[in-house]
Chain A
């Protein structure tokens, strides 16, 4: 029972409304109408996310026969670990490349005038509105051995390079697809930074580079974190782009799952791959959240992104 609440009237009110549970747990009383508002979304999530997830977890230990054989299969084959490692690595690279490309772009958007800013925003969004398939096929045309890019490189006396049917091709395609997911949170975060602080910083004797690294960058950090997470997590599960621009020899996990399930009807193994990807992702995010929490505590910041 609650002992620490100081306001007996409120406590009694809470107890009356919620049967004492909320008061005891120290939370605000639940009212019915907000829960009703959540129901449609919750129902959808339960139907299309929670149920299939539970099903996959079940299949990973139940097909073709009950037991841990699917996990044993995954652990025993070095090729499986390579696929998982490659997937995490490609997703990490995508996020890193997106960050490097998007940071200056978003900064330029913040410091430019309203007209130019609108134009830059449209440039980011146009590919966003185009079909993923069309963009991936377009990259095939551009990057193939006798494509436009290699043609231009040949004029310069370079190449031809193998730009497609390998990890390079996958990275090019994924970065292009995922770039808006980096630019938009970065821009939102940078736009919240009070640029007058840079003026204050220069009046205190800081060179422009110091003002940028010590004032602007830390204050724009939330955008870096949320953008990187968005890109990384989406990149982990990407299927179309790696399937079209990648190679079976350098498979990513989504292709591998497809292969196991559709090609070999190994439902159990496909499920194991999915579960392991999920666990690996959650573990990484947990680690990141822990690090953030630590650095946030050092910075004395209260709110959190994760």
Chain B
């Protein structure tokens, strides 16, 4: 099929992976070259056109949903600002005593606009992503109650990245409502903020004040940016091709045929999947941030060495950071700071004290956050379980915090000592792996069965050996995965200590720099899991 035919059909599905050849050798270089040839004033428009074409190529006519979302937030923003302007004018003229009532009336109008935009944006997301899940569950309930009524399960085509761009769109509306950003009258700037091609598939979920201006004021590609961007992309490619894709055979086999594997294998698969997910998602973020860097745009980081976390709360501040920040700013704070919750906190504080009092309202907000988080990842019960699992872990951590502190004091344990920190890190890693096992399982029942086997049958045997021999994963693969993980661990430790490895590399002698880059490239070529015998993992977060 020629490029023109692909363009017309919007059928270049391989572009959904930023590591596909179609992207790395086709779309990205072509965009960079054409971008460089554009006059300065046209660069931003070119970037917008390239982004929309990219989305069209991966989603076809579903690009209409994205454009509709842009229109919604554009007009909602203008509407909100107009109300704010009217409010300011009215309150300036009003008597002091009337101002409060006036402000409230205008606030209610603004809330209506926000609710209107939310209904449209989340309505699209709910319909396209969740309607089938809800219908299946309603049908199950109806059958349970022997009601002779079944609804047809709707089937919709879902645009790639809808969960990401909907969150981004809503953050803009909320921010304009809160007055932290001014409404943008330039619909093209807003469209570029929403659709910038490196981030449209898997995020990060950017805020308007973080990227919109930077994207609109892009300049020519600089040699340093190009080198730094490509280096980052290469590092991500190594994570994806050498580790994530290599682990695919064992992860896919054990999770698909979990009934045939004993508990030992279930535990290994849980760890492998956690590593795979991290390598796939953080590797993709390296590609996204690296691509943006080429164009001179700094994107927010989505990972900050999550496996160095001492608690689950800390883990979620380091893993998928932009999602966590979104949930904190637009769900946790609004719920916990709402009037009923404030009242609950003050009355509970009197009865339960300063620790447990505020915890009550905080827990209600936390529950909303984790229910949303679970559902955001997918429309299935195992995702809801995944959310609730983390809710329970964080809540338990909050509840027993004074007890742990007291025990530590009593036993003279220094919580800042290295062994204690190491124990906390290990515990967090184990809890994360268990959560990810439920996340990856083919259903909640499958997840529970695997979890049970870890405790009741921690052996290493396979019922149907034929299944295992179909996939190849041997000691060589273990060595390669371990070697790359050690490299990544080294880089992570350096970064954790505030040493910027990339900067260090840039300052080193050209011979050293080139040797490292050649080494990295040859490592990907030789040890990458591609070609005959390998099935690369599809971009995991692109499905959310």
A binds B: no
